[in-house]
Amino acid sequence: MNLRDLPSIDLCLRAADDMVLQYGRPLTYRAFVWVLDEARQMAKTGEGIPTLEEVIVRANRWLRLWTDPRLLKVINATGVVLHTNLGRAPLSKAAIAAMAQAGGNYTNLEFDLATGKRGKRDDHIGHLLHTLTGAEESLVVNNCASAVLLTLSALAKGKQVLIPRSQLVEIGGGFRVPDVMKQSGAKLVEIGTTNKVNLNDQLEKYDEARNPADVISFVAHRSNFQIIGFTEEPTVAQMSVVAHQFGSILIYDLGSGAMLDTAKYGMQHEPTVVEALTDGADLVLFSGDKLLGGPQAGIVVGKRVLLDKLKKHPLARAVRADKTTLAGLAATLTHYLKDEAEREIPIWRSISATPDWIKARCEKICAWAGVGEVIPTLATVGGGSLPGETLPSWALAIRSEGLQASLALLRKREVPIVARVENNLLMIDPRCVEESDDEMIAQALREIYI
């Protein structure tokens, strides 16, 4: 063992033209420095000196580790349409094209092409939201969580905010309505009990207030859990009547922001944005990437006087949406306007897929793969929408030893496949899989099981 036998950096670089070409000289240089340092350290503990070839192999491994993309396409074979851990809604072709166009070019984001003067970034979305929902005014921010924070900060700081105790929810990832209230400087006032809330609970608080117009009513849609049994809650329409009676307002954190009727697909009816406005909510807040099926965004629609206050608040700048989001959202909303959402927006394609179609896909994958059997199962929408609701579906079910190991092998593919286990069976539900990926799934199963 002699450290002088270690190849020099120059020698390494000269022997690694292809690496220099692929990764650039500075990074390749850094990889060799790293590997040679490591070799010197290891030599001290009695390891042998690596040859030039070994050094190159190790440097290549580091270069790949440093530069390979980590955010990958995965195939969602779980049957969960809005899988939060898998990035919620995949986008429509038109939305992807619009985002690429906006991202790769200069745009008229804040430039009025008619006058040559400064324009407003919200103008590109406002007319669409107005046409779709009838709302006077709108604002797009980073996500629904920031929409809630901005709304409460701009309108409710130092004021009382009434919220039914049954709605003091955690949305997920630590986003808790009571914490956001605190952060915004609003004073949370719970009304009613966990299971029973009635209009009198709300009325009482307005009656007790010195200045009822300064008391704000807040409704948070129960997106990810259900309360069943001995329960009661006033409707949004009833609560907004009470709020308006006292010259106050009602803010509705709707969450999912459905534009289509989920009941049409055999599920419970999820309140739509239009219904929320019709019910008298002064502001309605919802996500761009849940049932709307667009890019991550938070959308606020409602009364102009209130939205003007939101837009003037310093937080508005901190949570504003970027040009690619606005472009993708506009393309997504246009699908609704053209009544083509079910065909063009991937999550609605998944939700509206018929059991027969899914069964046929399972049978095709089953025949190609030569394993498993096709059995009925249930899919869910997920992602903080329609808790407890299921869609009748089909899956390719595989009985095997070491289910966790099989799941891991599927995740390790070049295009990782995420499946699920149910009743000791590995389940592949193609509901949320692009049909062109079916063959890739069959190939993976063949390699793992045959």
Burial degree of 374 (CB within 10 A; 0-12, 13-18, 19+) = buried
Rounded to 5°, angle at Cα 98 from 314 and 82: 75
Q: Which stretch binds ligand PLP (CB under 6 A): 7-15, 250-258, 361-369, 424-432?
A: 250-258
Q: Which of residues 148 and 418 has its CB atom nearest to ligand PLP in the complex?
A: 148
Rounded to 5°, angle at Cα 136 from 135 and 137: 95
Place of tokens 């590109």: 124
Given its phi and psi angles, is residue 120 left (phi above 0), alpha (psi -120 to 50 degrees) or beta? beta
Overall size of the chain counted in residues: 450
Minimum CB–partner distance for residue 334 and ligand PLP (Å): 21
Residues 280-309 that bind ligand PLP (CB under 6 A): 287, 298
Expressed in percent and rounded to 5, the helix, strand and coil fractions of the chain are 50, 15, 35
β-bridge mates for residue 394, sequence order: 376
Place of tokens 């307005």: 206
Q: Which of 60, 160, 223, 334 binds ligand PLP (CB under 6 A)?
A: 223
Q: Which of 233, 253, 282, 389 binds ligand PLP (CB under 6 A)?
A: 253
β-bridge mates for residue 184, sequence order: none
Residues in contact with ligand PLP, counted by CB under 6 A, come to a total of 15
* Binding status of residue 171 toward ligand PLP by CB under 6 A: yes
Residues 256-275 that bind ligand PLP (CB under 6 A): 256
Binding mask 375-414 vs ligand PLP (x if CB under 6 A, - otherwise)? ---------x------------------------------
199-208 vs 236-245: helix axis angle to the nearest 10? 20
Q: Which of residues 143 and 406 has its CB atom nearest to ligand PLP in the complex?
A: 143
Residues in contact with 78: Cβ distance below 8 Å, sequence separation at least 6, in sequence order: 86, 418, 419, 420, 429, 432
DSSP 270: P
Whether the CB-CB separation of 95 and 294 falls below 8 Å is answered with yes
Binding mask 203-222 vs ligand PLP (x if CB under 6 A, - otherwise)? -----------------xx-
Q: Which of residues 58 and 88 has its CB atom nearest to ligand PLP in the complex?
A: 88
Amino acid at 191: I
* Binding status of residue 325 toward ligand PLP by CB under 6 A: no
Minimum CB–partner distance for residue 293 and ligand PLP (Å): 13
Q: Which of residues 142 and 393 has its CB atom nearest to ligand PLP in the complex?
A: 142
Residues 328-357 that bind ligand PLP (CB under 6 A): none
Binding mask 111-150 vs ligand PLP (x if CB under 6 A, - otherwise)? --------------------------------xxx--x--
Minimum CB–partner distance for residue 339 and ligand PLP (Å): 25
Rounded to 5°, angle at Cα 412 from 410 and 413: 75
Tokens of 82: 């809005």
Using Cβ positions, the residue closest to ligand PLP within the complex turns out to be: 255
Q: Which of residues 192 and 298 has its CB atom nearest to ligand PLP in the complex?
A: 298
User: Measured on CA atoms in the order 94, 100, 103, 107, is the torsion positive or negative?
Assistant: negative
Minimum CB–partner distance for residue 255 and ligand PLP (Å): 2
Whether the CB-CB separation of 169 and 188 falls below 8 Å is answered with no
Instruction: Tell me phi and psi for residue 137, to 5 degrees.
Output: -145, 160
β-bridge mates for residue 426, sequence order: 398, 421
Q: Which of residues 298 and 430 has its CB atom nearest to ligand PLP in the complex?
A: 298
Q: Which of residues 58 and 221 has its CB atom nearest to ligand PLP in the complex?
A: 221
Q: Which residues bind to ligand PLP, rule: CB under 6 A? A: 143-145, 148, 171, 175, 220-221, 223, 253, 255-256, 287, 298, 384
